[in-house]
Structure 1
Amino acid sequence: MKQLNREGAPLASSLTSDNRSSRCCVLLTPLLVLMAVVGCANGGHAVNSESFDSASDGAAFDSSAHFASPVDSDSLIAEALEACESAEALWQQGDIDGSLATLDAAYELLLQIPDDPNLIQQKEDLRHLISLRVVDIYRSQLTTAADLNSPIPLEINDHVQREITRFTGPERRFFIESYRRSGRYRPMIVSKLREAGLPEELSWLPLVESGFKNRALSSARALGMWQFISSTGTRYGLDRSHLIDERMDPDKSTDGAIHYLSDLHGMFGDWMMALASYNCGENRVKRLIRRQEVGHLDRFWDIYGGLPTETARYVPRFLATVAIVRDPEAYGMELPEPYPAIEFETIEVHRHLRLSDLDTALALERKTLVGLNPELRHGTTPGDRYALRVPATVAALFDEKVAALPAYVPPPEVTFARYKVRPGDTLSTIARRHRTTVNAIMRANKIGSRHRIRTGQRLKVPQRGRSTPVVSAKGSGGSRLPQLTHTVRQGDSLWLLASRYGSTVDRIKRDNNLRSNRLAIGQKIKIRTRNAAGSQTYTVQSGDSVGRIAQAQNLSVQKILRANALSRSSRIYPGQIIQLPN
């Protein structure tokens, strides 16, 4: 790219409202602006400091205070970020000139940051942020000028036509069945999209993702109607535990998807780019954009060739879906009546209940409650408070029928240890060493023959779990468990605390009003523990082992391990509180 000097560089802030009204200028200026912003990575200077005077009455971020004397890199980065925030606020207020002038100031601050290998990524991120803000401003003007019928432009090119041919041909049955299932969830999805201000066309994305199946699981371990991988699900508030995975909950996963899509659109300012990022990740799309000659202003189809095969089909499949449902007759499709949404009520339960038992007691068809509560991984409610969806037609009978059900104790949670196969190992010796069975190891690792393991292979080995104590069938469900306070240390997690103290992640979160799984060092956590009331505790000292503690306290190693939900391979650390059973 050609370097731009101070005198010849086009300026964001020098574009007055008069010349922005010209259609030619509206179409060409964004390219020049981005060349000025991104092109300077090659060493050219793209900002004319005199142009700051053209800002509207000083309403923009005041850059003059930042150029008086040299300051350290951290201050320059902080001031540039502050300028970006000010530019965003001015844009939202309708002050386009002031916003662009402020972005000029932010870029001038960026140029003052010294060349330091430790700051390369921060400078690149800041440069990218400034360019995105400039592009968002001009893109908003282009959208208004184009007067699009939909925020998501429907372009039927060869790639989209190819997916239309698949949906109307070999994948016709999949499309029709998915369309039928959409009726159960689309009214809810459309309502949430409208509330968030997102285009209603996005309500058809689950057809491409999962065929509107709440329990769809991909080869990449993406789960649910909106196909969240575990890390992205956690990032957008979808919790997981032994009994619950909220990625399979249609309402909660829709909230997460809307939040994620909104973030992606805010990042790229373009729905096609946002959809590609939803499938393959925003970082992959960013890398492709940065490799383009013009940069972020490139259209989705300009980076199409660099996308993974799945993503390259994903966006055309979505556009093909929208095209077909808008005008099925044009593509030789006759779409059936969608399934109606099931009317339900929510009832709070306080003990373990098996959904199959409830179906029978309430005279419902098999798996009715599984369909309404897909987030329950094993068809069982948690032992603590849980909002259960039941058909509205049987809600009045619920309490009476549940009271007559016997107590249910779910099977213990299965945990796994990782084991690397050594020379001479067999599944039998590994099973004996870990106190499990050959069949359990084979199932966990999908091994077809007990003789097919190799040295160096990594296996998941099932460990013995712990079951939840029985709650009385007619009790209110509030178990009276002793409580302790734990101070969070480095390396702690809710899962570790739940395992250590014989509790559950859900119970700890409810008792502490936690909305996410994040913990802060020094945070005080209340924990109701299953360990016997009145038992003593011991604080682990440097050099301690479970064997030494057991010998000093005149207890067996097995009792201490059992009281603290530990295995023989578990590590203890200085400062850890160990329960000493009576």
Structure 2
Amino acid sequence: MNTYKPAALIFALSLFLITGCQQSHLPANKPLTDQTLKPAEPIEPLNQNTLQHETSKQKKDENQIPDFNQTKIDQALELCSVAQNCWEQGNLDEALSTLDAAYALMLEIDTDHNPEFNQQKEDIRYLISKRVLEIYASRHIVVTGHHDAIPITLNDHVNAEIKRLTGPERNFFIRSLNRSCRYRPFIVQALKKSGLPEEISWLPLIESGFKNRALSPARALGMWQFIPSTGNKFGLNRNHYIDERMDPEKATRAAIDYLKELHNMFGDWTTAIAAYNCGEYRVLKTIRRQKLNYLDNFWDLYQNLPRETARYVPRFLATVHIVKNLEKYNITIDNPLKPLEYKPFNIKKQVHLNEIAKAINVDTDILVSLNPELRYKTLPPEPYTIKIPVDHAGGFMAKLNTIKTNDHQNLQYTYYRIRKGDTLSGIAGKFKTSVNAIAGCNKISKKSCIIIGKVLKIPGTHHKASIKNNLITAKTSKKITYTVRAGDNLWLIARKFSTTTKRIKSINKLSGTRLNIGQHLTIITNDKTDSKKLSRYKVKSGDNPLRIAKRHNMSLNRLLSLNHLSKRSKIYPGQSLLVE
């Protein structure tokens, strides 16, 4: 096995790329042997017959050189392909040895008599050099262990978290273990299906203590603690009735997609888990600021991460260590929550969970536990899949029909967007309610300052004055075909067309989040209804979006929104645009 030293390797490759030095990039040279050094044969005097014979032989050999050169090129390219496979499988040394063999073949190519092979030879020279540099760099960027391996490092930082979790936070840890029994079977199954390590199933313990409604000061919500933007990026819908970040199954699938993306980005699980806590951009920024030009693992950037994240990974590793050694720390799971078996039903009736609980004679808390994404224990007006305990699923639809719905049985509140000049007392008078009721409903003080543009929940009324400010607006569906461009991803496309990544994946039957340039996606977007009629305008030479908007007495943002354009989008003569 050859040993690859950084200085020797980089020097050889630099020489190789710049000067075209006819040397192998590896320091290991074969020793001279008796077969290599042969005694010189005696020189025979030339005569005319001998000269003609040699000339004929030389012409014959020259005619065979192109075939010989092409064979060597094909063999070298095949070895490059083999080296690529070795690299992808983590066999870096074998990949380098294979590239060295490819380089040796390339040196045998004769370009003196056949200059047409010069370009191919240089292409292979560049390909091998580039691949060697990439492989060598990968040794310092990613962990070459198994994809499903999370190394449990017991250093001072991890030991400090072990002491906290088994000491002052012992009760929290035990309660979290009890709650985990309800959700981990599904989480572990989903992780195995996705090829991720089972240890990740303990991440919700340090995130939320396995609480579906856990809310952080940063507005991260649910068992997996998604902030709204990241949740939307990975297909978790959120509106006034539901927030899928609180659904353990949907949030688990989103977390798996996110973690897979982070692991593909950083290459090791400790760094990926750190990025899950503080965001991939913060970790990338920290790596770029390091004096070292490589990253072996999380501990290289430990001290430079935010304090919460610097504790986050050691806390996770401590958790995994403890649950694998419960007897050692005298911890028992004394009151485990059992998984709830359920049957899904698709219904179109907007009712409160309390009414359903009465109809099927079940505890409301069980329905809430099965349907935690319902923000106010009320089903949305659109079709919804509700989970009903298996033991109470019989005849559920028939019993549901006995529950009457009317205007007062819908949500006993509406939403109002604060305008300039509004006050709590003025809003209370407009909706015939009290300041105390509004303050209590929104968990604010009655003396709190209200901010223009913020939305307040107004209890106990359906006043007509709220209709214009109600966040639930009538929409019409629109189906379009979008061609994926360079730099696109599902989240950006979903944001551009005011839809969700989950909906795009469902419509186009995508199993993952990877897209290809030129790929066609079907997008069903919702456009707010407008009393104005829209017409088509054909772009003319010299037009620009601002000029077109002014010509039709509309704002630039309105024009861009109607046509799903951004301020950087280009328009072309003959293009058809929607205008008012």
By the TM > 0.5 criterion, same fold? yes
Change (3 A) 1:410 1:544: same
Is 1:181 the equivalent of 2:179?
A: yes
Kept after mapping to 2: 8 A contact 1:444/1:460: no
Match for residue 384 of structure 1? 382
Kept after mapping to 1: 8 A contact 2:378/2:411: no
Separation in 2 of the partners of 1:151 and 1:484? 46
Match for residue 320 of structure 1? 318
TM-score (norm 2): 0.62
Change (3 A) 1:432 1:487: farther
1:265 offset after TM fit, Å? 1.2
Change (3 A) 1:107 1:261: farther
Paired residue type of 2:283: V
Kept after mapping to 2: 8 A contact 1:328/1:335: no
Larger radius of gyration: 2
Match for residue 78 of structure 2? 59
Change (3 A) 1:130 1:399: same
Match for residue 19 of structure 1? 2
Work out which of the residue numbers 217, 229, 235 in structure 1 matches 2:227.
Answer: 229
Matches within 5 A, 1:476-495: none
1:132 offset after TM fit, Å? 6.7
Paired residue type of 1:396: G
1:369 offset after TM fit, Å? 1.2
Match for residue 286 of structure 2? 288
1:215 offset after TM fit, Å? 1.2
Is 1:96 the equivalent of 2:95?
A: yes
Work out which of the residue numbers 398, 401, 417 in structure 1 matches 2:399.
Answer: 401
Task: Please give the per-residue CA displacement for 1:105-151, whole angstroms capped at 9, x wherever unaligned.
Answer: 579889xxxxxxxxxxxxxxxx9x988755467x32xx37xxx9x71
Task: Please give the per-residue CA displacement for 1:344-381, whole angstroms capped at 9, x wherever unaligned.
Answer: 11111122122121111111112211110111222222
Match for residue 124 of structure 1? none
Change (3 A) 1:223 1:155: same
Match for residue 543 of structure 1? 553
Paired residue type of 1:411: L
1:416 offset after TM fit, Å? 5.6
Paired residue type of 1:264: L
Matches within 5 A, 1:489-568: 513=507, 538-539=533-534, 542-543=552-553
Q: Say which SS state the counterpart of residue 331 (structure 1) adopts.
A: coil
Structure 2: which 5+ residue stretches go unaligned?
27-74, 104-122, 457-465, 483-491, 536-550, 556-576
Match for residue 352 of structure 1? 350
Separation in 1 of the partners of 2:22 and 2:197? 38
Match for residue 277 of structure 2? 279
Separation in 2 of the partners of 1:293 and 1:34? 22
Match for residue 448 of structure 1? 445
Paired residue type of 1:231: S
Name whichever of 433-442 and 207-216 sits farther off.
Answer: 433-442
Change (3 A) 1:544 1:52: same
Match for residue 262 of structure 2? 264
Q: Say which SS state the counterpart of residue 387 (structure 2) adopts.
A: strand
Kept after mapping to 2: 8 A contact 1:179/1:335: yes
Matches within 5 A, 1:416-455: 417=417, 428=425, 442=439, 447-450=444-447, 453=449
Separation in 2 of the partners of 1:158 and 1:482? 57
Paired residue type of 1:410: N
Separation in 1 of the partners of 2:444 and 2:475? 43
Match for residue 202 of structure 2? 204
Name whichever of 221-230 and 101-110 sits farther off.
Answer: 101-110
Change (3 A) 1:514 1:239: farther
Work out which of the residue numbers 337, 340, 343 in structure 2 matches 1:342.
Answer: 340
Matches within 5 A, 1:143-162: 143=145, 151-162=149-160
Paired residue type of 1:214: N
1:307 offset after TM fit, Å? 1.1
Kept after mapping to 2: 8 A contact 1:178/1:212: yes
Kept after mapping to 2: 8 A contact 1:107/1:130: no
Q: Say which SS state the counterpart of residue 364 (structure 2) adopts.
A: coil
Separation in 1 of the partners of 2:242 and 2:275? 27
Separation in 2 of the partners of 1:440 and 1:495? 35
Is 1:411 the equivalent of 2:411?
A: yes
Task: Please give the per-residue CA displacement for 1:493-512, whole angstroms capped at 9, x wherever unaligned.
Answer: 999999xxxxxx79x969x9
Match for residue 368 of structure 1? 366
Name whichever of 100-109 and 168-177 sits farther off.
Answer: 100-109
Kept after mapping to 2: 8 A contact 1:34/1:131: no
Structure 1: which 5+ residue stretches go unaligned?
1-17, 63-85, 111-126, 470-480, 499-504, 546-573, 578-582
1:296 offset after TM fit, Å? 3.2
Kept after mapping to 1: 8 A contact 2:360/2:399: yes
Match for residue 460 of structure 1? 454
Task: Please give the per-residue CA displacement for 1:509-568, whole angstroms capped at 9, x wherever unaligned.
Answer: 69x94789x9x9998858699x8xxx98633883379xxxxxxxxxxxxxxxxxxxxxxx
1:198 offset after TM fit, Å? 1.1
Separation in 1 of the partners of 2:125 and 2:338? 54
Change (3 A) 1:494 1:322: closer
Kept after mapping to 1: 8 A contact 2:141/2:295: no
Separation in 1 of the partners of 2:198 and 2:437? 46
Separation in 2 of the partners of 1:413 and 1:53? 77
Match for residue 189 of structure 2? 191
| Equivalent residues, number | 441
Change (3 A) 1:360 1:494: farther
CA RMSD of aligned residues (A): 5.1
1:331 offset after TM fit, Å? 2.0
TM-score (norm 1): 0.62
Paired residue type of 2:95: I
Matches within 5 A, 1:165-180: 165-180=163-178
Change (3 A) 1:379 1:370: same
Work out which of the residue numbers 248, 251, 266 in structure 2 matches 1:250.
Answer: 248
Separation in 2 of the partners of 1:305 and 1:50? 43
Match for residue 310 of structure 1? 308
Match for residue 540 of structure 2? none
Kept after mapping to 2: 8 A contact 1:362/1:398: yes
Kept after mapping to 1: 8 A contact 2:436/2:446: no
Q: Say which SS state the counterpart of residue 191 (structure 1) adopts.
A: helix
Kept after mapping to 2: 8 A contact 1:412/1:468: no
Change (3 A) 1:415 1:132: farther
Separation in 2 of the partners of 1:277 and 1:99? 35
